[in-house]
Structures are given as C-alpha cells and as structure tokens.
C-alpha cells in the first residue's frame, strides 16, 4: 500500500469512529431530553425495574456471597503475613463497597438483563414494532428507552448494595466461622475504617454503571441491523461494550475520588 | 389528498422507486398492485414518512411530510392508520392491549370507553374470543386481523393497508374486504390497498395503479385499465408464465 493510501485509510477509520461516537452521544442526549421534558411512564418504569432489577436479585446475591467469601480467604492470607488479621473486616468491606459491589453486580446484570434488553429492542426494531409506534405518534424514546434508563439507574445501586452486604456476610462466614476471627473484631474494625465517603463512591459508581449499561444496550438494540443475525450481533456487542466501559469508567471514577 | 411527485429511492444501488408520480384524491380508495419485491411496501412507507425519499416530495394535503418535526409531524401522523405487511403487533402486549394501545396513548378516553371501542373493533374482525392472547399465540391470519383492528380503531382519515388479505382464507378475506369497504363508505377515509388479491379487490376500489420497474406504469378505473390491454397487466392478472414478465 502506498503511504497516501495508508494515511487515507487511517483518516477514514478515524472519521468513521468519531461519527460513530457522535451517534452514541446523540442517542443519549435524545433520551435524556425526553427523560426531562415529558412525564414519565411510571407503569413502564416499574415493569422494567422488575425486569432489570428484581429478576437479577438471586444472581447478584449468589455471586456477592461467593465474592465476599473468596475475598476474605485471600485477604486473610495476605494480612496474616504481617499479623494484620484484625483488619480483615475493613479490608473486605472497603473492597466490596468501593469496587467489587458496584462493578461485579453491574457486570452480572449486564450479562443477564442488558443482553435481554438489547435483543428485545432489536426484535422490536426488525419486526417494525418501533415503526408502528412512530406511526401512532407514540415516541419510542419515551415509551421504550427512557423507562429502561430510569429503571437501570434505580436498580443498579440497590443491586450493588445487596452485593456488598451479602459479600460482607460471606466474608464473615469465612473469617469468623471458618478462620476463627472474633465477630467483634470483624465488625468492630469495620466501623472504624469505613467512611460515608466510601459508601457515596459506591453509589456514584452504581448510578453511572446503570446509565452506561442501559444506554449502550438500548442503543445497540435500537440500531440493530436486520435479521436474526443482526439482533444476535447487537446483543453480543451490547454486552461486550457495556462490560468494557464499566471497567474503564470504574478506573476513572476511582482515580478521581481517591 | 396525497401527492407523490418524482419520488426516487434506492437501497445500496438497488433502485426501487424511480421517479414515482401518484395522486390520490380525498376520499378515494386506490389499489396498488405489482410484483413481489417491486417496492409497494417501500412506497407505502414513504407516504407516512417512515422512509425518506432520495429525491422528490410527498405531500399530504399540500404539506410536505418530510419537512415536519415534533408536534406537526405528530399531528399529521394521528391522521394515518397503517397496516404493516407483517402486522407489527407489540409482542409484549395481548391482542386487547395492542388494539387499546393507541387509544390509551393518544386519547383521554376512560377505560370503559376504550373497552367498548376495542371490543367493537375486535368483533368486526372476529377476534373477540382471542382478546387475551398474545401475538405469538395467534395464527398468521389472526395476527393480520388484530393488526387491522389496531390500525382502524382510531378511525383515521387516511388508511394504508399493506396486504390486508394475504394469509387469510377466502371467506375471511372477502369479509375483511367487505368490512374495509363498509368503513370506507361510512367514514370516507382516503385509502391505499396494496394487495395481490386480484381481481377480487377491484370491486371495492375506485382506481387501480400498477407499480413496475420503479414507476406507476398504469393507473385508472378498472374499465379504463382493461381497455388499455397492457401486456404486463394482463399477464399479471392471468398469472401466465409466458409474457413480458419473467420469473427471476
Ligand atoms: N430497509 C431496506 N433496506 C434495503 N433494501 C430494502 C429495504 N426495504 C426494502 N428493500 C428492497 O426494496 C425492494 C422492494 O421491497 P418491498 O418490500 O417494497 O417489496 P413489495 O413490493 O412490498 O413486495 P411484496 O409484495 O413481496 O411485499 C426489495 O428489493 C427489497 O429488497
Ligand atoms: Mg410488501
């Protein structure tokens, strides 16, 4: 390939990617516009909270418990090396509340509900249900997208909190029941080291993950290409892009707040 | 009145509409026929602004639908009823809720009034016993009738039917055509029926238009069209395999 060709190819790819980013941004702005300028569809929001949130509870509790347990095992192993076992409680709690609770629960919900969201909206697109709404002068953003975003923003922090709570309990089971720490040490030290700031950070993260996941998954479904294959691709991409963005965004938030 | 003037549309180099001109006057019912894949559905979607033309204008009572935004577009869309070829029923809602959907979203009628209207419409389609079913539980023909009920329930002033009788048995098909005709006579909507149901549909429309190779090649009353002895139309009607139309 000639140098000019390379430059042209790079330029074209860059332009396409920037245009693509703009498209994502526009979708989010349109959704937020309708979120703030028109009355909310409460019934749809409740349905979606049930779909995104309530139905993810079991899986979040299960993964939360085991995450807390393995975290306690690992932390105990490390702390034991310099005789700091008494700090097991705060170590587990801080890791869960600040990082693992929001992040892992968001990843789990993305896998369970985000993918379903993308494929459901994708199918509505390819079977012309979204077109039908438009012809009836019903705004599909208001009816489909906004309820999902609101539901995710409500559900994610709650699920993240569940995850952390059950994780701390899992850490208690391992640390106190199995490794023989006293319950007083496990919980007592926790209150000494845990700040409101830490909890706030967990909540901020969960809120932003809720927005990211609902945004990406709705976008991918809404602009799916045609056919079963199109919807399949949209679903896969929705999960991959959401998960990657969760981790990247997590790093940024942590680095700003620390 | 609906006017299409010089409408062009192609998808990735595949030319579908190549300068279509078509005028449908107030209260008229027009049948749009043509071979499968020739662009009838695409043409219909242009009229409601779901597909934008590459060139040309679509005017509804003199208003260019592609220039409208927000409230104005909403106002004009409320005048349309559209039957999608595949129904486009909301698969998360029951038949009843599907038909009630536009009433709930776009009117302030009480739930009892809505119930009355929905059941009236469902009875006309012979679906009153299936009101609680979800679209996935219906046969293809039932789905079509449910979609028709949803399109008609707002009593629109412009009705666009994309193959209302395809997939229905001949008797239900005829009763649907009769029903459309009765509604047309009573409500006086302007309508376009895209259909392969020839010649039966000719009895309920004023004019017939044939789309072929991106253009309306033939338009007029049945008597008028028959006299023209257009070879394409005659072959289309008879289903003869020999003639200007080839199987490709
Ligand atoms: N969204 C789209 N993207 C690309 N091509 C399309 C799209 N919609 C329609 N086409 C093409 O336009 C042409 C006309 O399609 P259309 O659905 O209007 O046919 P039709 O006349 O309604 O056929 P039928 O009688 O089988 O319903 C086809 O060749 C189709 O491939
Ligand atoms: Mg068609």
Q: Does ligand 1 have an atom closer than 6 angstroms to the CB of B3?
A: no
Counted domains in chain A: 2
Binned at pLDDT 50, 70 and 90, residue A83 comes out as confident
- The CA-CA-CA angle for residues B42, B211, B143, to 5°, reads 50
Q: Does ligand 1 have an atom closer than 6 angstroms to the CB of B85?
A: yes
Closest residue by Cα to atom 2, ligand 1, is B11
- Could you tell me what percent of chain A has a pLDDT over 90? 75
Binned at pLDDT 50, 70 and 90, residue A124 comes out as very high
CATH 3.90.420.10 at B2-238, yes or no = no
* Interval A176-181 mean pLDDT: 89
Q: Does ligand 1 have an atom closer than 6 angstroms to the CB of B53?
A: no
Q: Judge whether residue A96 has pLDDT over 70.
A: yes
In order of A20, A29, A129, B189, the CA distances from A26 in angstroms are 10, 5, 22, 38
**Same-domain status, A135 and A217:** yes
**Same-domain status, A7 and A66:** no
**Same-domain status, A10 and A125:** no
Closest residue by Cα to atom 7, ligand 1, is B11
**How far apart are the C-alpha atoms of B137 and B25, rounded to whole Å?**
39
Q: Which residues of chain B fall short of a pLDDT of 70?
A: 247-248
Q: What is the pLDDT of residues A31-50, one digit of tens each?
A: 999 999 888 899 999 999 99
**Same-domain status, A161 and A242:** yes
Q: Judge whether residue A173 has pLDDT over 90.
A: yes
Q: What is the pLDDT of residues B104-132, one digit of tens each?
A: 998 999 999 999 999 999 998 889 999 99
**Same-domain status, A196 and A95:** yes
Q: How far is the CA of B122 from the centre of ligand 1 (A)?
A: 30
Buried b (16+ CB within 10 A) or exposed e, B106-129: eeeeeeeebeebbbebbebbebee
**Same-domain status, A52 and A22:** no
Nearest to B50 among A124, A129, A131 (CB): A131
**How far apart are the C-alpha atoms of B194 and B210, rounded to whole Å?**
10
Binned at pLDDT 50, 70 and 90, residue A185 comes out as confident
Using a CB–CB cutoff of 8 Å, tell me whether B88 touches chain A.
Answer: yes
**Interchain proximity A137–B74, CB inside 8 Å:** yes
Best to test chain A binding among B78, B88, B140 (most A CBs inside 10 Å)? B88
- According to the model, what pLDDT value does residue B248 have? 59
Q: Is the ipTM of this complex over 0.95?
A: no
Using a CB–CB cutoff of 8 Å, tell me whether A227 touches chain B.
Answer: no
Buried b (16+ CB within 10 A) or exposed e, B68-89: beeeebbebbbbbbbbbbbbbb
Using a CB–CB cutoff of 8 Å, tell me whether A135 touches chain B.
Answer: yes
Q: Does ligand 1 have an atom closer than 6 angstroms to the CB of B37?
A: yes
- According to the model, what pLDDT value does residue B149 have? 93
Q: Judge whether residue A165 has pLDDT over 90.
A: yes
Query: A21 lies in which domain range?
Result: 1-37
**How far apart are the C-alpha atoms of A114 and A106, rounded to whole Å?**
10
Closest residue by Cα to atom 20, ligand 1, is B37
**Same-domain status, A57 and A25:** no
How far A210 CA lies from chain B's nearest CA (Å)? 23
Give the residue on A whose Cα is nearest the Cα of B71. Answer: A137
How far A143 CA lies from chain B's nearest CA (Å)? 10
**How far apart are the C-alpha atoms of B187 and B110, rounded to whole Å?**
23
- According to the model, what pLDDT value does residue A1 have? 62
Binned at pLDDT 50, 70 and 90, residue A62 comes out as very high
Question: Which listed ligand is nearest to B214 at the C-alpha?
Answer: 1
- Could you tell me what percent of chain A has a pLDDT over 70? 100
Using a CB–CB cutoff of 8 Å, tell me whether A138 touches chain B.
Answer: yes
CA dihedral A174, A175, A181, A183 (to 10 degrees): -90
Q: Is residue A148 within 8 Å of A220, Cβ to Cβ? A: no
The contacts of residue A88 (CB under 8 Å, 6+ apart) are A72, A75, A76, A79, A171, A175, A181, A185, A186, A189
Q: For strand B2-11 and strand B14-24, is the pairing parallel, antiparallel, or unpaired?
A: antiparallel
- According to the model, what pLDDT value does residue B237 have? 86
**Interchain proximity A136–B105, CB inside 8 Å:** yes
- According to the model, what pLDDT value does residue B58 have? 94
- According to the model, what pLDDT value does residue A256 have? 87
Round the average pLDDT of chain A to a whole number and report it: 92
Taking the CA of residue B51 as reference, the ligand 1 atom at the shortest distance is 1
Q: Judge whether residue A149 has pLDDT over 80.
A: yes
Using a CB–CB cutoff of 8 Å, tell me whether B72 touches chain A.
Answer: no
Q: How far is the CA of B118 from the centre of ligand 2 (A)?
A: 27
Partnered with residue B30 across adjacent β-strands are B192, B207
**Same-domain status, A15 and A124:** no
Q: What is the pLDDT of residues A186-239, one digit of tens each?
A: 898 888 888 899 999 999 999 999 999 999 999 999 999 888 889 999 999 999
**Same-domain status, A31 and A152:** no
**Same-domain status, A113 and A59:** yes
């Amino acid at each position: 390939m000639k140098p000019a060709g390379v430059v042209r190819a790079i330029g074209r790819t860059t332009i396409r990617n920037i245009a693509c980013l703009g498209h994502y941004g526009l979708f989010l702005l349109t959704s937020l516009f309708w979120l703030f300028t028109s009355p909310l569809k409460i019934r749809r929001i409740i349905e979606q909270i049930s779909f995104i949130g309530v139905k993810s509870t079991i899986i979040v509790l299960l993964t939360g418990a085991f995450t807390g347990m393995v975290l306690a095992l690992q932390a105990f192993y490390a702390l034991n090396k310099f005789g700091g076992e008494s700090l097991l409680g705060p170590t587990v709690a801080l890791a869960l509340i600040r990082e693992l609770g929001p992040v892992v629960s968001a990843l789990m919900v993305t896998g369970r509900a985000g993918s379903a969201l993308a494929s459901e909206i994708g199918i509505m697109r390819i079977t012309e249900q979204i077109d039908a709404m438009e012809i009836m002068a019903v705004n599909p953003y208001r009816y489909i997208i906004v309820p999902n975003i609101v539901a995710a923003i409500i559900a994610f922090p709650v699920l993240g909190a569940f995850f952390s709570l059950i994780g701390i309990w899992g850490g208690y089971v391992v640390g106190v029941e199995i490794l023989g720490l006293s319950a007083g040490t496990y919980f007592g030290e926790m209150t000494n080291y845990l700040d409101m700031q830490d909890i706030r950070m967990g909540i901020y993260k969960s809120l932003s993950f809720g927005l990211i996941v609902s945004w990406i998954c709705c976008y991918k479904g809404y602009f799916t290409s045609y056919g079963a294959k199109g919807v399949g691709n949209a679903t896969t991409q929705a999960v991959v892009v959401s998960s990657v963005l969760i981790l990247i965004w997590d790093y940024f938030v942590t680095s700003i707040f620390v | 009145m609906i006017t299409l003037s010089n409408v062009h549309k192609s998808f990735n180099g595949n030319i579908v509409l190549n300068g279509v001109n078509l005028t449908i006057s107030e209260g008229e019912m027009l049948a749009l026929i043509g071979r499968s894949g020739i662009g009838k559905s695409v043409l219909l979607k242009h009229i409601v602004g779901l597909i934008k033309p590459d060139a040309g204008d679509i005017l509804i009572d003199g208003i260019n639908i592609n220039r409208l935004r927000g409230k104005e577009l909403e106002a004009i869309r409320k005048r349309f009823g559209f039957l999608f070829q595949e129904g486009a029923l909301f698969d998360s809602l029951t038949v009843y809720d599907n038909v009630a959907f536009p009433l709930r979203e776009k009117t302030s009628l009480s739930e009892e009034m809505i119930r009355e209207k929905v059941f009236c419409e469902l009875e006309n389609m012979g679906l009153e016993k299936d009101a609680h079913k979800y679209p996935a539980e219906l046969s293809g023909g039932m789905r079509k009738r449910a979609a028709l009920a949803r399109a008609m329930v707002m009593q629109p002033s412009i009705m666009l039917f994309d193959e209302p009788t395809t997939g229905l048995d001949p008797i239900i098909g005829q009763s649907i055509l009769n029903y459309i005709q009765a509604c047309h006579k009573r409500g006086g909507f302007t309508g376009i029926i895209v259909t392969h149901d020839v010649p039966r549909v000719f009895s309920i429309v004023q004019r017939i238009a044939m789309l072929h190779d991106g253009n309306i090649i033939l338009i007029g009353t049945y008597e008028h069209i028959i006299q023209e002895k257009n070879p394409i139309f005659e072959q289309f009607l008879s289903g003869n395999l020999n003639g200007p139309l080839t199987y490709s």
